[in-house]
Structure formats: structure tokens, C-alpha cells
Amino acid sequence: MDTENKYGEPMTVLQQVQQRGGHLLPQWQAEHIDGYTLFPQSEPDVAGQMLQGLEYLASADYLDKLFFDRLSVCPSCGSHHVNVREACSSCKSSHISPVSLLHHFRCGYVAPAETFVHNGKGRICPKCHGHLTDLGTDHDIPGENFTCHSCHASFQVPEVEGLCMNCQTRTPGDQLLHKDIHSFRLNSLGMAALSNGRLYDQEEELLLEGDGHPIYRKHVFMFLLEDEMRRAKRYGTAFSLIMIKLATADDTETERLVFHMAENLRNSDKIGRYTEDRLLLLLPATDKAGADIWLRRFIAGAGAALQAHVIDLNQEGDVASQLAEQSWNT
């Protein structure tokens, strides 16, 4: 860590998180480049140093980094001041309005409702001059169209467009960038470091979670996993990864489950922490079919409700983002 970074000193930052209730939540700040800030009272360079401290503490598992919000960002200047709105598909003007349509069954004519003039008894079809009297029997409302007041185009689906209020760049909705904003929450390792008055420096303290659980801490497990992926790529060996969602936040139940798991694993298999309620299981030299069989047997013998599945890893891709996707899906 940068020695000049005095505000980002890990123990100072941990104390800050504790003083703010143990969970540092982003606060909306429109003029800030990110739209959110974690340190509204601090100067930008101080806040930047403290953010570095937070990222370091999260990477070393003293804090949990949690998804908070997703911003739409201008790809040209990075500003979050993007006005996202619906626009005409031909001329891109945002001066558009929805128009409801009518469909006359007898002649099949479909047009905006306002073109079917009312004569006191009912609407008149502009094409066949027949009467529209009973909705559902002689006509229906097939939906909405949009009309553009600038070019008079008529279309079913408007385009979504982002207009940057900072640099005026116009970007189609599907090409806007997204930036995830996170909160940071003290976890058990962070609390332990606070009461110890220091971060852990012993390797064995750092590798496994406390209380005799044979669970590797997240950063250690990710390192082991990446190592396994490298090996698989180089030598073509198989390995499998299982994600397990713990049903309860009950520590005793988790402990029972983890010991049951450990009993059913080989020495080379590894249990790792992914989030507070999710564990990962690394099974070297095991293909998907083998992992499925193991998992079915394990769930049957676990005596507790739990969700688990074998992860389909793309070994060419980035493992962290693939795991993040998996955890949304379950």
C-alpha cells in the first residue's frame, strides 16, 4: 500500500466504517462524478484515499463489498448526468406521444382513434363509413402506436436514447455504459481486527475462517480456483466447482453442514467462502457428471434444505464476473 495514503490506512478506514454503524452506504451527490459518494464530508482527494483503503480491506476480506446501485454512464465523457428518454425511430426527436388505435373488424382498417369521428351514435370508420358501436363485437383496441410531432412518423416501439447533459453526446440506450456502486459492510474478520487493534499478519490466521471451520477465506479460495483454472487450461485436466446457498444464517447449522461436507470430500477438495450465505466447493480432477453425482448424494444426506448447483464455468472467461452472475441466478 502507498505510504503517502495516510487517510486510506486500513485500521483508520475500518474504524470509520464502525463509527458509521458498521455499514458504509453511498449517499447521493448529484455534482459528484460518480453520482454517489461514501464520504460526503471529505475533500475529494481524502475520499479517494479512503476508497482505496476500502477496496484493499474488501480484497483482504475484512469488509464485504455489496452491490448498491447501477448508474447509466455516458460512454464519451463518463458523466452520470444522462437524460434517458424515448425518441422517434426516424428523426430521434423526443417530441413523441402515444396514440391509441382502433381496429374496425368489417373492413380490417386500423388507424388512430381520433380519425374515427363520433357522430352521436358511435364512431364512423373513415375507410368504409360503417358504424362502430360495440367494443369487442365490431371493433377493438389493438394497442398503442407512437406519433412524432417533429417528422409525423408513426411507429410501434420508440427508441431509447441517452442524452448526456455534460457533453451533449447522444447514445442509443443499449450502448450506454453502466457503473456499479457498492456499499462496504464490516464482517466477522473486520470486527475481529478492530477488537485486536490490528490486521492479521499470520498466514494461518488468514487462510481459514475461525472457529475450526475448514472454510478458506474468499481471497484465498479465489487464488486456489484461478490456479486450478490455469492448470486445467495448460494440461487439459478436469475440475468442477459447486455453489451452495446456505438455507439459514444459523452458525451451528452451518457448522454441522460444513463438517458433513468435509467428511464427504477428498483431501484435495476445498471449501471456500463466497458470500455470507454462499459457499464454493472446488473438486479437482472431477468432471461435471462426477460432480453432479457427488452433489445429489450430498444433498440427500445433508438433512437440511439447501440450494446447490454445479457451475458451468467458461474457462476462457473471467472467473469473478462469472461467479457474480451465478449468484444472481440462484
Q: Which stretch binds Zn ion (CB under 5 A): 68-76, 208-216, 298-306, 315-323?
A: 68-76
Write out the binding residues for Zn ion, residues 81-110 only, by CB under 5 A.
88, 90-91, 93, 104, 107, 109
Q: How far is the CB of 163 from Zn ion (least distance, A)?
A: 9
CA distance 261 to 280: 11
For residue 277, how many other CB atoms are within 10 A of its CB? 13
Q: Does 150 bind Zn ion (CB under 5 A)?
A: yes
Our finding on whether 151 is near Zn ion (CB under 5 A) is: yes
Among 29, 72, 76, 327, binds Zn ion (CB under 5 A): 76
> How far apart are alpha carbons 235 and 315 in whole angstroms?
13
Q: Please choose, out of 30-38, 59-67, 129-137, 291-299, the segment that lies near Zn ion by the rule CB under 5 A.
A: 129-137
Closest separation in Å from C-beta 172 to Zn ion? 14
Grid coordinates representing 48?
479517494
Kindly tell me which residue out of 1, 167, 293, 324 binds Zn ion, with binding defined by CB under 5 A: 167
CB-based burial label for 88 (10 Å; 0-12, 13-18, 19+): buried
Is 74 one of the binding residues for Zn ion (CB under 5 A)? yes
The interface region with Zn ion, picked from 114-122, 151-159, 187-195, 230-238 by CB under 5 A, is 151-159
Q: Which of 182, 207, 324, 187 is nearest to 249 (CA)?
A: 187
320 touches Zn ion by CB under 5 A: no
Element (H, E) at 260: helix 251-263
- CB 25 to Zn ion: min, Å: 27
CA–CA separation, 22 and 16 (whole Å): 8
Q: Closest separation between CB of residue 82 and Zn ion, Å?
A: 7
Nearest to 223 by CA among 272, 283, 166, 188: 272
Nearer to Zn ion, 133 or 264 (CB): 133
How many CA atoms lie within 13 Å of 34's alpha carbon, on the beta-carbon side?
A: 19
Render 142-163 in DSSP notation, one character per residue. Answer: --EEEEETTT--EESSPEEEEE
Binding residues among 247-266 for Zn ion as defined by CB under 5 A: none
Could you say whether residue 133 binds Zn ion (CB under 5 A)? no
Q: Which of residues 93 and 315 has its CB atom nearest to Zn ion in the complex?
A: 93
State which of residues 77, 289, 293, 320 lies at the interface with Zn ion (CB under 5 A). Answer: 77
Nearest distance, CB of residue 135 and Zn ion, angstroms: 15
Which range in 65-73, 141-149, 183-191, 263-271 contacts Zn ion by CB under 5 A? 141-149
For Zn ion, the closer CB: 167 or 305: 167
- Shortest reach from residue 152's CB to Zn ion, in Å: 7
Distance set, CA 271 to CA 44, 101, 187 (Å): 40, 60, 19
**Stretch of residues binding Zn ion (CB under 5 A), selected from 17-25, 78-86, 222-230, 243-251:** 78-86
What cell was used for 114?
Answer: 381520433
Strands (E), the chain: 23-24, 27-28, 36-37, 63-73, 82-87, 96-104, 110-112, 123-124, 131-132, 139-140, 144-148, 154-155, 159-164, 170-172, 177-186, 239-245, 270-275, 278-284, 307-310
Q: Kindly determine how many residues on this chain lie close enough to bind Zn ion according to the rule CB under 5 A.
A: 23
Return the number of the residue (6 or 152) whose C-beta is nearest Zn ion: 152
The footprint of Zn ion (CB under 5 A) covers: 74, 76-77, 79, 88, 90-91, 93, 104, 107, 109, 125, 127-128, 130, 148, 150-151, 153, 164, 166-167, 169
